Structures are given as C-alpha cells and as structure tokens.
Amino acid sequence: MADNTQINPGTGGDVISTDDLGAGVKVQRVKIQYGGDGSATDVSSSTPLPVTIIGNVLASGAATSAKQDTGNASVASIDSKAPALGQALAASSVPVVLPAAQLTALTPPASVGVNNFPATQPVSATSLPLPAGAATSAAQTAAQTSLSSIDTKTPALGQALAAASVPVVLTAAQITTLTPPAAITGFATAANQTTMDGHITDGTQQTKLTDGTNTANVLKSDGTAAGQNAQLTAPNFLSVAFTTTTAQAVGSTDVGNYSWVSVHQTSVAPVLPKRSKSRTITSTGSVLA
C-alpha cells in the first residue's frame, strides 16, 4: 500500500503524508517546527532545533574538564620534558628504543667540497652546547679571582731576600754545584787595613778615648816646662809627670773627674851644692804622692 493517504477519497481532497506500517495501519508523518505563538520555523541544518541543557549525567569513568587532575598535571609539565627541536646531546634527547629490524648501518655522507679555501669560512651558530665540565667566560669565577690577585702574589723581578721570594722546590736532578764568582778585590783583611789612620802593630793608629759622654784628648808635649801636659791613663786616673829646675810648680791640672791622682817628681842636682834640696807639692783635695 501507498504511504500517503487521500482525504475524502470519493470527492477528492488533500493528500496527507503517512507511513504505512502494514495491516492497514498508517502513521502520519509530522514535520518538526519551532517558534512562538503565530510563527513556525522548520528544523533544518541551517535552522537547527534550539535545545537548552538543564543538566547532564556523566558516564561511568568520565570526568569534567575541571577534574582531570592527572591529565592537567601531565600537560602542565610537558614543556619541561619535551626537548627543543634540532640536534642535541644524548643527555638532552628523548630515549627511543628501536627493534632489531629497524637498526641499519648508517652510510656516511659524501665528502663536502669547499671551493673558496683558504678564505675564511662563515659559520653561523645561535647557541652551542657546552661539554661536561666546561664554563663560559662569565662563569669562570675561580680563574678570574686568581687572576685579579696575581699582582699582589708575584714579586718584582730582580734579586730579593728569601722572605720576599717565590719558593721553588728543585729535584735532585736539578741541583748542581755552583761555581763561585771571581775573587773580590779591595776588601779588608787583618793584614790589609791601609785605609785606617796608622796600624795597630806600628803604634801609629789614632784613637780617642771616651766614657760615653766626655772625650779625652791626648796632647803632644813639646818638652818645655810650660808645655807639660796631662796624660790620660786607664783605669780612670790622671798621671802628671814633669821636670823642672824651678822652685815652683810648672803646671796645674783639674783632677775633679778622676778617682785618684799620682804626681811623680824627678829631682835634679841643686845649683848650689851646699844647699839642701827642697820638694814642695801643693794640691787641692787628696793626692797620693
């Protein structure tokens, strides 16, 4: 039977779209529309049926976007775990396990020819990885500290005392006998004191005696009575010797700085044999005659 149904078959009328389910049963086909009072809009791909979701039920094991904690944590850390594109060292690469069927011997490329040697070849490198243990010039802090203090630890060139010299340890193979320099001329020995005033052995050396404050001069006597001078004799006493034929003292000496004084008188034959000799010594203080 036909799906559609004729209204008023005898007199004619509209044909209604129906679906024949069999056994004389038909179901009217209904076109879905939407709209308010007084309007009807057919549902189509260009005018879909508006739907408002009041609530939904999650399937077993499903999760909302706000509760995918494990997935969110993995996505957040993917930047730090995925290496940058390009060639890199093994420690900075993603490990990949290849089965034996995929491992093949690599054929090295053919030699690269450069025709403009010996000209300088341009090389462009944005960044290069450092090998293990290497450092950039900005990070060599230990070396820079040592270099900045080298001036204060390196002595000046030239001969210096041991305290101002750099210690050096020589092995036995490096130590050799030193050849002494030529004999030094002009130095003084016990037998060569020619630059001094006189010699000790011939009695012509000139010396001044002092007690630390006062200096005693040894004067030359001219042999006359008026020229008789005092002679300083150790240890700390004054000896005055003179010869005169007069009856009075021929000289005076200040003996205040001496512990004791000895006066020696040499008698001579009197002018008149019949007169007796007269010896008179006048002194101030204590005198040992």
Q: Would you tell me how many other CB atoms lie within 10 Å of the CB of residue 22? A: 7
Q: How far is CA 136 from the centre of its chain?
A: 18
Q: Which two tokens stand for residue 263?
A: 């006066």
In a domain, 257, yes or no: no
10 or 270, greater pLDDT: 10
In angstroms, rounded to a whole number, what is the distance separating the alpha carbons of residues 268 and 214? 37
In a domain, 225, yes or no: no
Residues 6+ apart with CB under 8 A from 7: 13, 14, 15, 16
Q: What is the mean pLDDT of residues 142-162?
A: 83
43 or 107, greater pLDDT: 43
- 9-to-1, 14, 27 alpha-carbon distances in Å: 15, 9, 18
- pLDDT-derived band at 260, boundaries 50, 70, 90: low
Looking at the predicted structure, is the pLDDT value of residue 270 above 60?
Answer: no
Angle at the Cα of 132 (from 130 to 134), degrees rounded to 5?
60
Q: Which two tokens stand for residue 107?
A: 């054929």
In a domain, 12, yes or no: yes
In a domain, 21, yes or no: yes
Burial (0-12, 13-18, 19+ Cβ within 10 Å), 230: buried
Q: What is the mean pLDDT of residues 220-246?
A: 51
Q: Would you tell me how many other CB atoms lie within 10 Å of the CB of residue 263? A: 17
In a domain, 10, yes or no: yes
117 or 225, greater pLDDT: 117
- pLDDT-derived band at 18, boundaries 50, 70, 90: confident
Contact assessment for residue 6 and residue 13, using Cβ atoms and an 8 Å cutoff? yes
Contact assessment for residue 67 and residue 58, using Cβ atoms and an 8 Å cutoff? no
Q: How far is CA 32 from the centre of its chain?
A: 89
Question: Among 22, 20, 18, which Cα is nearest to 31's?
Answer: 18
103 or 99, greater pLDDT: 99
In a domain, 26, yes or no: yes
Q: How many domains does one find in the chain?
A: 1
| Pairing verdict, β 209-210 and 260-265 | unpaired
In angstroms, rounded to a whole number, what is the distance separating the alpha carbons of residues 79 and 90? 18
Contact assessment for residue 155 and residue 166, using Cβ atoms and an 8 Å cutoff? yes
Exposure string of 43-75, with b = 16+ CB inside 10 Å and e = fewer, is: eeeeeeeeeeeeeeeeeeeeeeeeeeeeeeeee
Looking at the predicted structure, is the pLDDT value of residue 247 above 80?
Answer: no
In a domain, 187, yes or no: no
Instruction: Report which residue type is found at 149.
Output: S
255 or 4, greater pLDDT: 4
pLDDT for residue 47: 92
Q: Would you tell me how many other CB atoms lie within 10 Å of the CB of residue 91? A: 7
Q: List the domain range (segments joined by +) for residue 14.
A: 5-35
Q: Is 169 helix (H, G, I), strand (E, B) or coil?
A: coil
In a domain, 31, yes or no: yes
pTM for the whole thing? 0.20
